[in-house]
Amino acid sequence: MVNQIFSLSPLIVIFLCFPTGFAQSPAQAPVAQSPVAQPPPKAPVAPGPVPSGPPNITAILEKQGHFSTLIRLLKTTNMDSVITSQLNDSSQGLTVFAPSDKAFSKLSAGSLNSFNNEQKARLIKLHLISSFLSQPEFQTVSNPLNTEAGSNGQYPLNVTVSGTEVKLTTGMVNTTISSTIYADGQLAVYQVDKVLLPLHFSGTPSPEPAPAPATATASTSSSSSASASASAPSKPDKADQPPSVSTADSSVQASGAITMIHHAMSFAYLVVVGIVFIHWT
């Protein structure tokens, strides 16, 4: 046992000399680190409204279903693109008077086909006003309306309001607004039941002239009569002419004379016979 103690003694000496080498070091407390500032999460960006552009005039009319003739004219004359461009560039808006297919059917046969593209475009421009007009605003507009057709003297368009009825006239055509097809503050489209033909437009019939005043007519008739009387040769009055003997009267008179001569000769013959008879007896 003593030997065992001596064999363990080196280990005991080493343990006593180096106590820290075998002592368990205490666990170090974790070093507190300052939190790193994280950037705030980005808020999701809401998608903005997609610009829709100006209203499409042909799409508005197609939705109604009875403006095929007007749509065809808009496309063949490129006026649909002109309207879109005006709505896109102008802040005043636009007002459109849209004749229905029934309105175009009231035109004289072949008159629409007789127009060239420039005339058709001018005809459509007479149905366009260069600003947005709601129905109440027609009560305050000045006549003639400022249309896209051009000169108001050559292409006049006048409006009158009677109650809720809006009447339009060009001097050639009188019609009314029958319904509101579309209105959004930028574009107003109103249905009309007649095509707005201008007063002076190639290919359209002219209105009947107003009758002349009665006084002027009477004066003209009197002048014409006087001229006719002056130019016609004067005829002698019947009172100044000798009485004419008709052929029948002449024949009767001749027949009477012959009869008298015949009777006279018969009497003379009887006288001669009587004298002879007396002589012989």
Q: Give the closest residue to 190 by CA, choosing from 143, 141, 129, 107.
A: 129
31 vs 24, 25, 34, 241, 255, CA distance in Å?
Answer: 20, 17, 10, 161, 178
What is the Cα–Cα distance from 55 to 78, expressed in whole angstroms?
A: 16
Q: Stretch 176-195: mean pLDDT, rounded?
A: 93
Give the model's pLDDT for residue 235: 47
For the ranges 119-128, 132-141, 176-185, 192-201, the lowest mean pLDDT is seen at 192-201
Half-sphere exposure at residue 66, Cβ-oriented, CA atoms within 13 angstroms: 11
Handedness of CA 117, 120, 122, 124 (dihedral sign): negative
Structural domains in the chain plus CATH codes: 57-192 (2.30.180.10)
What is the Cα–Cα distance from 280 to 273, expressed in whole angstroms?
A: 11
Please determine, for residue 196, whether its predicted confidence score (pLDDT) is greater than 50.
yes
Percent residues over pLDDT 90 in the chain: 31
Give the model's pLDDT for residue 38: 63
H or E stretch including 168? strand 165-169
Q: What would the pLDDT profile of 250-267 be if each residue is shown by its tens digit? A: 554 555 556 677 667 767
Give the model's pLDDT for residue 84: 92
Give the model's pLDDT for residue 191: 95
pLDDT band at 100 (very low <50, low <70, confident <90, very high): very high
Q: What would the pLDDT profile of 40-93 be if each residue is shown by its tens digit? A: 655 555 554 444 678 899 999 999 989 999 999 999 999 999 999 999 888 889
